[in-house]
Structure 1
Amino acid sequence: MIRRLKYNEIDFKKYADCLEKSEQRKYSASKTFLDVTANKQWEALVYNDYEAVMPVPYIFKKGVKIVHNPLICQQLGVFSAKDDKKINEKFLYFLEKNYLTRAYYFNETNSFDSKLKTKKNFLLYPDAYANVFTKYSPKRKRKLRLDDEVTENSELKEVSYQEAEIFMKNHVVGLDKENDAGTLLKTFETFHLSKHLKFLAFYYHYEITNMIAVYSDYDTIALLGNFNDKKYIKMAGASTLIDHVIKENIENCIFDFEGGNLPSIEEFFRGFRPEPKHYAVIENSKKTLIKNFARFLMRGKFS
C-alpha cells in the first residue's frame, strides 16, 4: 500500500534508512538536499513501512499545488532495496492519479513497463585516475595540455562564496527566468555554508576565467554549475577544473556530470568518456496541465 505523507508526517529516520539501503541511492533525494532546493515544499509517497519511498516536490501557482522538480535537482524517483518495475508502476500510477504534475524526473535505475520520455546524464564510476584519464578522448587530452604561457600564468584555487557570486552573476547562462538566477545563488550559498558545496576557479593572469560548483555527498561528487568567461572559452579552463576534481576524487567517489541533454554540453562531457545514463521523466505542457486541472476539479481530488 502507498501512503501520501505531508512533510510534517514523514518519519525522516525511516526515510533516510530507506535511501541509504536503496539500489537507486541519489544525494538529490536526501532531506538535506531537498529541504534547500524545494524550500521544504515536498511530500513523500511511502510503500508499506518505508520499504520504498518517493519524494514529491511541489510549487504553488495561483494557490494550486503542482509537482515540479526544483532547480538543480536532476533526479528523484523511487528508492527501494531492489528496483522493481511493479512497485515503480504503482508509484507512477499514484502520482498521476493524485497530483498535477508539470515536471517530475525519476532516476536512471528506475525501470518501467510504461513508455516514458527520457533524459540523459553522464557518470564516471570509481577507478584509479590513471585508468580514467586513459579513456579520455584524444581531443580532451589535447585540451588539457595547456600552452606554456598559460601554465606559467594560471592557477587553480578554491574561492569563497562571495568571490564566486560575482563571477556567477556575470556569467550564468541557460536559466529560463531571471528569478531562477537568484534562486540558484541562494541555493549555492546555503550549500556552501553547510560545507556540501565548494567553488573551484581557474585564474589566468590573476583573473577568474572559469569556475565550477561541486556538491559533495559521501560517495558522489556532482557538478552543479559550470561558469565560463566566453573571452577565454578556448583556453580549456573548464576542462582543467573538472579534470582536477576527477583526479582528486575518482578513486573513491562517483563523478556525476548532472546533465547532457543539450548537444554542446553532451559533446563536452563525452570527452571525459563517462557512461551515459537515461532516466525517465514526466513533462506536461501548460495546456495538458489545464486539462488535468479541470479533470481533478470534477473528481474533487485537490488537497
Structure 2
Amino acid sequence: MIRRVKYKDIDFQKYTKCIQHSVQKNWYAGKEVLDELCGNWEVLVYEDYKAVLPVPLKKKLGLNFVIMPLFCQQLGVFSEKDNCEINDNFLQFLKRNYKVFLYSFNHHNSFSENLEKKKNYTIPVSDYILLRRKKYFKGRKSTAKCAQHLIYKEIELNQEHLSFIEKNFKGLKKETDIKKFKDYLYFLNNNHSLKLSAAYLEERLINVAVLVNESTQLSLLGLINDESYKAENGPSFLIDKILDKYIHQKEFNFMGSNIRGIEIFFKSFGGELQEYPYLQSRILKKLS
C-alpha cells in the first residue's frame, strides 16, 4: 500500500534509513539536499518505509505542481531491491494524485510502461592510464595533450572565485536562479561536499569545474569557462586532470546532457551512457 505523507509527518529516521540502504541511493534524495533545493516537498511511502518516492512541489497560479528543482537530476523510487511492480504502483499513484509538470526517476527504476528517457554519462572507477589509452577519443587525447601548458589548482570558494563563476556561468537567465546556484554552492561548501578545480594560464584563472564531492563519486555541477581563452582548451585540460587525480577511487558523473555537442564532449572521455526515465505533461509544458 502506498500513502502520501506531508513533510511535517515524515519519519525522517525511517526515510533516511530507506535511502541509505537502497540500491538506487543517490545524492539528490537526502533530506538536507531536498530541503535546500526544493523548499517544499513530501514523500510517497510504500508499507512502513519499505520503499519511498520523494515528491518536489512548486506553487504556480495557486496550485501545487510536481516539478524537478534546479540542480536535481534524478529522484524516483528508492528501495532495497528495484521492483518493477512496486515502481508501477508509485507511478500510477503519482499520476492520479498530482499535477505533474516534470518528474525524473533514477536510472535503476524499471517500469512496465515505456517512459521517455533522458541521457546521463558516467565513468566508473577505472585505471586512468587504461581509460585514457582505450576509451578517450583520439581527438580528445590530442586536445588534452596540447593544453598541458595550463596549470591545475584546487581552489576555495571565496568572493574572487565566486565573481568569476557569476560572470562566466551560462544557462541561468533569471536572477533568482543565479541566486539559487550561489546558495547551493555555499550549502555544498558548508557540508564539505564542494570541490572547485581550476585551470590557470600563467596567473590568470580561465576555467572552473564545480563538482559535488561524495565519498564514492564526483558529479560535474558546472564547467565555467572564460570564452576569451577558448583556444587554450581549458575544459579538456580540467576534466583530464580531474580524472587523472580521482578516477581510481571515485566514479565520475557528468550530470547528463541532451545537447549533442556536450554529449559528444562527455563521451570523448570514455563516458558511458546511463539513461533515466521521466514523466512530463506536454499540455503543462506548452502552457509554461
The alpha-carbon distance between structure 1 residues 157 and 288, as it changes in their structure 2 partners (threshold 3 A), is closer
Q: Aligned pair count?
A: 286
Structure 2: 5+ residue stretches without partners: none
Distance 1:13 1:161 in 2: 35
Aligned-CA RMSD value: 1.8
Contact 1:161/1:189, CA 8 A, preserved across alignment:
no
Distance 2:17 2:216 in 1: 16
2:24 maps to what in 1? 24
Distance 1:106 1:193 in 2: 28
Instruction: Determine which of 211, 215, 220 is the counterpart of 1:218.
Output: 215
Distance 1:289 1:58 in 2: 19
Distance 2:172 2:279 in 1: 20
Runs of 4+ in 1 over 4 A off after TM superposition: 286-290
Alpha-carbon shift at residue 245 of structure 1 (Å):
2.1
3-state SS in 1 of match to 2:277: strand
Contact 1:101/1:289, CA 8 A, preserved across alignment:
no
Contact 1:124/1:254, CA 8 A, preserved across alignment:
yes
3-state SS in 2 of match to 1:198: strand
TM-score by length of 2: 0.93
Alpha-carbon shift at residue 196 of structure 1 (Å):
0.8
1:42 maps to what in 2? 41
Instruction: Describe the superposition over 1:55-90 as per-residue Cα deviations: whole angstroms up to 9, x where unpaired.
Output: 111111132111111111001001111111111110
2:245 maps to what in 1? 248
The alpha-carbon distance between structure 1 residues 76 and 287, as it changes in their structure 2 partners (threshold 3 A), is closer
2:235 maps to what in 1? 238
Instruction: Describe the superposition over 1:254-302 as per-residue Cα deviations: whole angstroms up to 9, x where unpaired.
Output: 2110012111110111111111011111122454787xxxxxxxxxxxx
1:11 maps to what in 2? 11
Alpha-carbon shift at residue 35 of structure 1 (Å):
1.5
The alpha-carbon distance between structure 1 residues 280 and 9, as it changes in their structure 2 partners (threshold 3 A), is same
Q: Does 1:281 align with 2:264?
A: no
Distance 1:62 1:229 in 2: 39
Alpha-carbon shift at residue 110 of structure 1 (Å):
0.7
Q: Does 1:140 align with 2:137?
A: no
2:267 maps to what in 1? 270
- Give the residue type in structure 1 aligned to 2:212: Y
Distance 2:252 2:221 in 1: 11
Percent of pairs identical after alignment? 36
Q: Does 1:181 align with 2:178?
A: yes
2:117 maps to what in 1? 118
1:197 maps to what in 2? 194
- Give the residue type in structure 1 aligned to 2:121: F
Alpha-carbon shift at residue 14 of structure 1 (Å):
1.5
